[in-house]
Amino acid sequence: MAQRPRRKKRKSKPPMLLLLLLLVVIAVLGYKYLPEPQQSAEKISGDRTGAVSQLKPETQSAVSVSVGRLNSSQAILVRLKDQKILMEKGSEEKIYPASLTKIMTAILAIENLPDLQEKIQLSQATFQGLYQANASMTGFQPEEQVSAMDLLYGVMLPSGAESCVGLAERIAGSERKFALLMNQKAAALGMNHTHFENATGLHAENHYTTVKDLAVLLSYALQNDLFREVFTASRYSTPPTNKHPGGITFYSTMFSALSSPKIAGGEILGGKTGYTDEAGLCLASFAQVGKGQYILVTAGAKGNHDSEQYNITDALAVYNSLGKE
């Protein structure tokens, strides 16, 4: 009988399902240990927000004046010692900040210019469009050589737009690039509802904030001794320049609108006014009442430069009510 030929034994292969499972396991383990940039970015953003939201609501109002009686449509009062919000009205509503923008311009100038006695020449381009926009001006002229310190006081006291642009161009090369720095700083401070388009506060649809964000900014800026010195000054005189041999003296727009800085139990120490048609009358102010220090930011009051200054009226009402507590 003939023998059947022997079949060669096939080498056993792992089942296809097992191979697929092995590939899945490798993929999962590899993904687990890959860096997660998006998650890291969210974590950084979260940490930043937590670090800045130092403003904490008070359990009960410490102010006797009713927010409904304020002329301003948005307002926030903060006690600096513990960052407690003592009063708020529409504090997270979108507003146009007008010249309150210049608080950011000033603190960035202080932090980015190592020598504030450095001379800066204001070019013709610095003034481009400012007169046509009816911007507030310091009084400097094209080709005038002034110190960064003079420009800083020009930003905060008379609210000079050419001073803002001059500093912005010196720091970043252009106002547009300076606005990028402004937005970076706002993000770092946790001003999550703020976007800047310029250094002056001239109206732009995409240039907005909230009074709560501005309170965060002012609270931060007041920790800087030089900013506090400028913010609380009522007047400043420049030394002689190539265009003004006798120098220029300018005055705080807020103190000029106050008949007296005295309030019940204290004094308004400093402030920055703001106004555009879209923003209404605005004010960011700083006061001492008793042993405490407070900041008040208001926006959206009716009126204009020629009417009663309802932003000042509101500040007096709020601070005086604190002094009577």
Segment 263-308, tens digit of pLDDT: 999 999 999 999 999 999 999 999 999 999 999 999 999 999 999 9
Sign of CA dihedral 280, 299, 219, 174: negative
Known binding residue 8? Answer is no
Answer whether residue 26 is part of any domain.
no
Answer whether residue 227 is part of any domain.
yes
Widest pairwise Cα distance in the chain: 131
Reading the block at residue 316, the tokens are 């007096």
Q: Which residues are catalytic?
A: 99, 102, 159
How confident is the model over 130-144, as a mean pLDDT?
A: 96
In terms of pLDDT, which residue wins out, 148 or 306? Answer: 148
Reading the block at residue 59, the tokens are 């359990």
d(CA 124, CA 144): 10
Quickly tell me which residue has 């737009």 as its tokens: 161
How confident is the model over 143-166, as a mean pLDDT?
A: 98
Name the nearest CA neighbour of 223 among 49, 46, 54, 44.
Answer: 54
Domain that holds residue 304: 74-323
Q: Give the residues across from 283 on adjacent strands.
A: 273, 298
Answer whether residue 252 is part of any domain.
yes
Give the CATH number, domain containing residue 107: 3.40.710.10
d(CA 198, CA 187): 16
Q: Provide the domain count of the chain.
A: 1
pTM above 0.75, yes or no: yes
Name the nearest CA neighbour of 192 among 219, 218, 210.
Answer: 210
Let me know if 18 is exposed, middle or buried by CB neighbors in 10 A (0-12, 13-18, 19+): exposed
Answer whether residue 309 is part of any domain.
yes
Segment 174-193, tens digit of pLDDT: 999 999 999 999 999 999 99
Answer whether residue 162 is part of any domain.
yes
Residue 33: CB atoms within 10 Å: 7
- Are 275 and 200 in contact by the 8 Å Cβ rule? The answer is no
Answer whether residue 287 is part of any domain.
yes
d(CA 158, CA 137): 7
Segment 35-78, tens digit of pLDDT: 333 322 222 223 333 334 478 776 455 666 678 789 999 999 99
Quickly tell me which residue has 């250094």 as its tokens: 199
d(CA 47, CA 52): 9
Answer whether residue 222 is part of any domain.
yes
pLDDT over 70, % of the chain: 81
Identify the H or E element spanning 41. helix 37-52
Reading the block at residue 50, the tokens are 């937590």
Answer whether residue 277 is part of any domain.
yes
